[in-house]
Amino acid sequence: MAPSAVTAPSGGQNLGNVTPAKSLNTSEELVEALKATNTAPLWAQMTRLNPPAPNPQTIPYVWPYDKIKPYLLKAGQLITEKQAERRVLMLGNPAREAPYTTDTLYAGLQLVQPKETAPAHRHTAFACRFIIEGTGGFTAVHGKRVPMKPRDVIVTPTWNWHDHGKKGADEEGGDDQPVIWLDGLDLPSFIHFPVHFVEHHTAARYPAEDFEESDIVYPWSKMQPKLDASPDEWVSEPYLKPSGAEIGRIIGASAERLNPGAKSPEIQETSSAVYHVIEGSGSTQVGDKVLEWKQGDTFCIPTWHKYQHHADDNKVYLYRFDDKPMLRALGFYRVAGVDVETYVSE
């Protein structure tokens, strides 16, 4: 049943409780009297509603994998698959409560034990998953079951049935260790668009057949050669559908390579991003702050923070997911110093 609308009492506002406008003598009295009319003065909030620059509530931050992983493994021991539909540690930004990794993006580390099933469901949110470690993991999306291989990216499109699992040591391709991956979803968007919901399948697993390849899988074995083929010290390659489109309408993803001692271009943009360190170590200069990171770590760059990556004396590979597709579709994407206004000329 749809929620009922909130309506005003019959007859509207009780005007007997409203101070007559003609009796007001100061701006303070006016502002106070307006509360009874369910209106508010824009002039009193002009700066807040029209800031001189984007004002994200989240901050740049690094989640060290070596410090978080022991807690994720312990969760694998203490929290059963029946207790948790998804065994995930959400990467909550210190400046906001989860699900905010940035103001528009959510990230979490998920673990599935051997012989377990993360039961089938489907939801409005779009998900992309970077496989960090583990052998014998698999995910099934709308009838296609594909293997989870380390460093691959696997997407779960909106409203597709999906479940996850892990083969045991007694199964071909399995072992006695868990599979761990980084989830990336657009959950924060639904704080402003209250249209997200989940439907659970009647069985733990949605009927599926095994596939070694699928359009929902973006193999590292194909991405790494693209990155290494470039002669540049830094290179970025997007993950794209076979059609050439972004992997999602809200979320996009890419991979970057920095040669030893190299740095990326400095950029300030309205998109926010979550990075995962595939290989190597280095740092990111974000304004006057330095984020130091190494293999396995995840870090975020909220909107409009000027940043630049620096590799240590090793080759670095980074995975990134961001909100560029959404911002571009809405006309919100900007890069500092670049004028992209086309409305008048069009």
Structural domains in the chain, sorted by start:
61-217 (2.60.120.10), 221-330 (2.60.120.10)
Hey, what are 272's tokens?
A: 């926010």
Does 5 have pLDDT greater than 80?
no
Average pLDDT of the residues of the chain = 90
What's the pLDDT tens digit per position in 223-240?
Answer: 999 999 999 999 999 999
Percent of the chain having pLDDT more than 90? 67
pLDDT on residue 3: 52
pTM of the complete model: 0.89
How confident is residue 120, by pLDDT bands cut at 50, 70 and 90?
confident
Distance in angstroms (rounded) separating the CA atoms of residues 153 and 159: 19
Average of per-residue pLDDT across 257-280: 98
Can you list the pairs that 51-55 forms with residues at least 24 positions away whose Cβ atoms lie under 8 Å?
A: 53/304, 54/270, 54/303, 54/304
Residue 24 CB neighbours (<10 A): 15
- Show the DSSP H helices in the chain as ranges: 27-34, 46-49, 65-78, 189-192, 220-229, 324-330
Q: What value does the mean pLDDT take over residues 296-300?
A: 99
pLDDT at position 7: 46
Please say if the pLDDT value at position 344 is more than 70.
no
pLDDT at position 1, please? 46
173 versus 275: which is more confidently predicted? 275
The answer to whether residue 341 scores a pLDDT higher than 70 is no
pLDDT at residue number 84? 74
pLDDT of residue 32: 93
Decide which of 313 and 122 is more confident: 313
Give 1 or 138, the one with higher predicted confidence: 138
* Band of pLDDT at residue 8, cut at 50, 70 and 90: very low
At 159 the pLDDT is 74
Give me the mean pLDDT over the 135-145 stretch. Answer: 86
Query: Residue 333: its pLDDT value, please?
Result: 94
DSSP string, 115-154: T-EEEEEEESS-EEEEEEE-SSEEEEETTEEEEE-TT-EE
pLDDT of residue 16: 55
Q: In DSSP terms, which residues pair with 265 in a beta bridge?
A: none
Sorted by sequence, the CB contacts under 8 Å of residue 192 that are 6+ apart come out as none
Residue for token pair 């499109």:
157
What are the pLDDT digits (tens) for 160-217?
887 878 899 999 999 999 999 999 998 898 888 888 867 777 777 777 777 777 888 9
Q: Are 237 and 229 in contact (CB under 8 A)?
A: no
Does 12 score more than 50 pLDDT? no
Q: CA nearest 140: which of 69, 51, 247, 216?
A: 216
Cα separation values, 27 from 21, 30, 32, 34, 52, Å: 11, 5, 9, 11, 26
Q: Which residue has the higher pLDDT, 14 or 243?
A: 243
Percent of the chain clearing pLDDT 70 (strictly above): 93
pLDDT at 259: 99
The DSSP secondary-structure symbol of 311 reads: E
**Per-residue model confidence (pLDDT) at position 342:** 58
Phi, psi of 326 (to 5 degrees): -65, -45
Q: What's the rounded mean pLDDT across residues 282-305?
A: 98
Q: Which two tokens stand for residue 28?
A: 């303070």
Tell me what pLDDT residue 168 has: 92
Question: Phi and psi of 84, rounded to 5°?
Answer: -125, 115
Q: Please give the average per-residue pLDDT across 132-143, as a whole number.
A: 90
For the stretch 34-76, pLDDT in tens is: 999 999 999 999 988 998 899 999 999 999 999 999 999 999 9
Give dist(CA 318, CA 264) in Å, integer: 11
Start-to-end Cα distance in the chain: 44
> Which residue, 181, 184, 199, is CA-closest to 126?
184
- Amino acid at residue number 177: Q
More confident site: 210 or 108? 108
Average pLDDT over every residue of 15-24:
79
Kindly list the distances between the CA atom of residue 190 and the CA atoms of 126, 185, 195, 253, in Å, as whole numbers in the listed order. Answer: 11, 11, 6, 20
